[in-house]
Amino acid sequence: MRNDPDRTRLDPYPAADPPTVQHPAASRTPAPPPVSAPRAAGPYEDEVVEEGVSNPDYRRIRAVNIVCTIINVITALFAIVLAVHIVLVLGSANMANGFASFVESWAANIRLGLNGLFTPDSVQLATLLNEGLAAILWLAIGALLTYLIRRFALPGPRRVQRYRRVVR
């Protein structure tokens, strides 16, 4: 009878050469990747490979994305200021307060000239309609500007090269 290499059991029928067990830390070289077997279903005529080509316009794309992000942030900030002013007016806030007066002065400068467009009897309803429309217009202006900038400043769609792989 021969002993196992790990000495946990006795093997009554030992193999001709017992397998050598090597500790994984003993070998620092990584194992080679497995080789794939060839396809058994015939030639590779239906295989399409896509390769991406590195884009030489990445700086322009990055600059355009930064400009569009800045435009979106500014127009969204204007819409938020108008929305906060609407909430302050609807809630009958004290406009002598520092925060309320700051928001009111800032909202007065970004109304897009829509201050007297709707003239209902209630001041709250007039503020809701006029400044609500201005906030929506700010969001639309931001979306339109970013669409136009991306449309005309960015290069066309990325071209994907397709080819057939020939295996002989």
**Mean pLDDT of the residues in the chain:** 79
What is the pLDDT, as a whole number, of residue 160?
57
Distance of alpha carbon 50 from alpha carbon 33, whole angstroms: 23
Residue 52 has pLDDT above 70, yes or no: no
Residue 139's pLDDT band (cuts 50, 70, 90):
very high
What's residue 128's pLDDT? 94
pLDDT at 140: 97
C-alpha angle with apex 79: 77 to 84, nearest 5 degrees?
Answer: 95
Is residue 137 within 8 A of residue 112, CB to CB? The reply is yes
The per-residue pLDDT for 116 is 86
User: What is the DSSP secondary structure assignment for residue 163, as one 8-state letter?
Assistant: E
Mean pLDDT to the nearest integer, 102-117: 91
Asked if pLDDT for residue 158 goes beyond 90, the answer is no
Q: Which tokens go with 22?
A: 């090597």
